[in-house]
C-alpha cells in the first residue's frame, strides 16, 4: 500500500485527504516511480479549489522527482534505478509511489539533486518557455515581471539576467524586496503600496516595456497594460489574485496594437524531444551557477493541508517541497 493525497470535492485546503491505495504494475509505456520529493506549486491550489476543474475524485500535484522501481515492457530510454523528474500532466504527484508515462519523464544528470529537481520542473520549464518561446527576449531588453519573489520569479529573474535583460520586478510586500533584488532585479517595486506604472515609465524614460510577464492576474492587469510600449505583449501566465476578467479589445489591445497571450506548458512540450531540450537548458542554468535554487521550506506529506494554507497566504517565499 502507498499513501496518496486525494480530493473528492473542491474547496479549501481541508479537502485534501491522505489515502492508502494499492499500486498496480506499470503499463507497457509507463514506469513506477518511488517519489523522493514533490514540488509545491500555486497551480495545485487552482486544481484543489476548482478554479481549474478536474474530474473527481482526483489526485493532486503536478511535479515530483524520484527513483524508477519498475519499467513497462516497451520502455527503452529508462532503467530501474534511474533518478527522474517530471512536471505536468497527468496530475497526481502527491504520492509515495505512482505510475507515470515514460515519454513525459526527464532523466536527471549529475549535479541535479532529487530535491532540487522536484521544485524546478514546473517553475523552471515555465521560465524556459516564457523567455524562449512565448516572448523570446533579447539581450538588453527591459522587461517587467510580477511576483518576482515567488517560486517562478526567483528562477525567472536570475535566468533573464543571465541573458542580458534588465529586469523590473514587483512584489506584494516590502519584506520580499530583498529577495527579488538578490535574484537579479534591477528595480523592485511593491505593487501594493507603489504605482508600478510610474516607476516603470520613469525607469524606461517614458518608453514602456516590450513585455509584461504576469502571474498575479486581476490585481495587476490594468496597470500592466499601461506599462507596455506599442506592439508589446501581455503574457498572463497565472491567477494568484484571481483570473483576468473582461478583456476589452478596443480598450486594452487596440490603442497600442498590443498582443495578449495565456500560455500553457503543455502546448510547448508536445514531444519528448522538445521536453528534453527545455530540461537540458534548465539543468545547464543550474549546473553552471547562473540560476541558484534555495529551497525555502520542506513539508511532510501529512502536513499537506498546512502547506496549502501557507501557499495561499503568501507565507512561502520561494521554492517549497513535500517529502513523503
Q: Where are the domains of the chain?
A: 2-121+286-323, 139-262
- Ranges of beta strands (E only) in 41-88 are 58-59, 63-71, 83-87
Q: How many alpha carbons lie under 13 Å from residue 248 in its C-beta half-sphere? A: 5
Q: What is the CA radius of gyration of the chain?
A: 20
Angstrom distance (rounded) from CA 73 to CA 75: 6
**In this predicted structure, what is the pLDDT of residue 239?**
67
| Domain 2-121+286-323 class, CATH top level | alpha beta
Q: Quick: pLDDT tens for 156-215.
A: 999 999 999 999 999 988 989 999 999 999 999 999 899 999 999 999 999 999 999 998
User: Which residue would you say has higher pLDDT here, 250 or 295?
Assistant: 295
CATH architecture of the domain with range 139-262: 3-Layer(aba) Sandwich (3.40)
Angle between helix 114-129 and helix 151-162 axes, rounded to 10 deg: 70
Angstrom distance (rounded) from CA 105 to CA 138: 30
Amino acid at each position: 500500500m502507498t499513501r496518496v493525497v486525494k480530493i473528492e470535492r473542491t474547496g479549501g485546503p481541508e479537502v485534501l485527504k491522505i489515502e492508502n491505495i494499492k499500486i498496480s504494475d506499470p503499463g507497457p509505456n509507463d514506469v513506477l516511480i518511488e517519489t523522493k520529493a514533490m514540488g509545491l506549486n500555486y497551480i495545485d491550489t487552482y486544481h484543489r479549489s476548482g478554479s481549474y476543474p478536474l474530474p473527481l475524485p482526483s489526485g493532486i500535484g503536478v511535479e515530483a522527482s524520484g527513483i524508477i522501481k519498475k519499467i513497462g515492457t516497451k520502455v527503452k530510454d529508462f532503467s530501474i534505478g534511474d533518478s527522474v523528474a517530471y512536471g505536468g500532466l497527468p496530475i497526481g504527484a502527491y504520492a509515495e509511489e505512482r505510475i507515470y508515462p515514460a515519454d513525459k519523464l526527464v532523466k536527471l544528470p549529475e549535479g541535479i539533486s532529487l530535491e532540487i529537481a522536484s521544485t524546478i520542473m514546473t517553475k523552471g520549464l515555465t521560465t524556459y518557455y516564457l523567455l524562449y518561446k512565448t516572448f523570446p527576449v533579447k539581450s538588453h531588453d527591459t522587461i517587467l515581471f510580477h511576483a518576482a519573489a515567488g517560486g517562478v520569479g526567483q528562477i525567472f529573474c536570475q535566468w533573464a539576467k543571465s541573458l542580458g535583460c534588465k529586469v523590473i520586478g514587483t512584489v506584494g510586500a516590502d519584506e520580499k524586496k530583498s529577495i527579488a533584488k538578490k535574484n537579479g532585479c534591477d528595480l523592485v517595486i511593491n505593487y501594493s503600496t507603489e504605482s508600478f506604472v510610474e516607476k516603470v515609465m520613469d525607469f524606461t524614460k517614458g518608453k514602456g516595456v516590450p513585455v509584461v510577464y504576469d502571474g498575479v492576474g486581476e490585481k495587476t492587469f490594468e496597470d500592466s497594460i499601461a506599462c507596455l510600449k506599442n506592439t508589446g505583449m501581455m503574457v498572463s501566465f497565472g491567477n494568484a489574485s484571481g483570473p483576468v476578467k473582461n478583456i476589452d479589445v478596443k480598450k486594452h489591445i487596440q490603442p497600442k496594437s498590443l498582443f495578449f497571450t495565456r500560455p500553457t506548458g503543455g502546448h510547448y512540450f508536445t514531444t519528448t524531444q522538445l521536453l528534453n531540450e527545455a530540461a537540458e537548458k534548465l539543468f545547464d542554468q543550474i549546473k553552471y551557477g547562473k540560476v541558484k535554487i534555495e529551497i525555502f521550506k520542506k513539508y511532510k506529506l501529512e502536513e499537506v493541508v498546512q502547506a496549502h494554507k501557507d501557499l495561499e497566504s503568501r507565507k512561502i517565499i520561494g521554492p517549497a517541497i513535500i517529502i513523503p
